[in-house]
Amino acid sequence: MDNKSNQQINNPSKIYALFYSFFLIPLMMTIFGVLFFFLFKMLTYEEQDPYHLLNNIKSGSLTKRWQSAYELSNLMTDPNKIPTDDLFINQMISIYTKSIHDDPRVRTYIALAMGQTENIIFGDILLDGLNDTNLDNRIAAIKSLGSLKYQQSVDTLNKIIASEDSEEERLAAIISIGEIKNSSSIPFLIEALDDEEANIRWDTAISLYKMNNKSGYRIIERLLSRDYYMNYKNVDFNEASNTILTVLALISPKHSEEFEDELLFLSINEKNIKIREFSMKILAEHY
């Protein structure tokens, strides 16, 4: 048999070898890899159930405890997954009380989870949390008292606003007061409109607006102007855009003549299309 005939016989073998080496083997490896991944996920999957997470917080390792507390706080954002029975409530209170000696993150996330439930039964225990030595824990308790709209916390939150405590703590109190909407807080908020910290002034104006008080309108007008943010080097274009969108969402439900000029300018000149469209929508609905 000549060389030409031998080459014709061997060529199919070479083609099959190439196919096997460069396509079939990698394909099989990929299939087995995917199967192994899904098998591993099935074996290690843990159902995100509130009671299961609470058990992890009570008896898990250090990492497991704070991660489960974090997952619980996220789970509580879904109203359909919030238990209302006494067992759940008592376990939450018990874990929060004992967590004072645990990783601070456990106590922080449990406090936030309590706030997400919007169940005022957690109000007193969160009010006690304002005495924590850990700043993050105090801030979480302040935020959750606002989420609960816990009226009994107003006097304490007013004192925090008027205090010389950390900016973060005062800011959290101002935001929570805006959620609670107790008129006794208005003098404290008006005083904070002149604070040297921009964030304090901005969120104070927003809280006053939520309470139907016009004292902060001038600041809100400025927050609707992109040029205003040029005075703050640490605020970039995207951060300014997010703040403007937040303010637009705040004023959108009702007609406010004071902001008509700002809305008209944004609807025509704003570079961010979301802001431009939102401004046009508000103008069409209320002006």
Q: What's the pLDDT band for 15 if we cut at 50, 70, 90?
A: low
Mean pLDDT across the chain: 88
Q: What does DSSP assign to residue 85?
A: S
pLDDT at position 32 is 61
Q: What is the pLDDT of residues 202-254, one digit of tens each?
A: 999 999 999 999 999 999 999 999 999 999 988 999 999 999 999 999 999 98
Alpha-carbon distance of 26 to 20, in angstroms, equals 9
Half-sphere exposure of residue 208: CA atoms within 13 angstroms, side-chain side: 22
The answer to whether residue 41 scores a pLDDT higher than 80 is: no
The answer to whether residue 278 scores a pLDDT higher than 60 is: yes
Q: Which of 11-15, 229-233, 281-285 has the lowest mean pLDDT?
A: 11-15
The CA-atom distances, in angstroms, between 285 and each of 100, 223, 242, 280, 281 are: 50, 21, 22, 9, 6
Name residue 257's amino acid.
E
The answer to whether residue 11 scores a pLDDT higher than 80 is: no
Q: What does DSSP assign to residue 20?
A: I
pLDDT at position 287 is 77
Average pLDDT over every residue of 152-172: 95
User: What's the distance, Cα to Cα, between the start and end of the chain in Å?
Assistant: 95
pLDDT at position 14 is 54
Average pLDDT over every residue of 159-186: 96
* Percent of the chain scoring above 70 in pLDDT: 84
Q: What does DSSP assign to residue 118?
A: T
The answer to whether residue 257 scores a pLDDT higher than 90 is: no
pLDDT at position 12 is 56
- Do residues 287 and 256 touch, judged by C-beta distance below 8 A? no
pLDDT at position 19 is 47
**Contacts of 234 by beta carbon, 8 Å cutoff, 6+ apart:** none
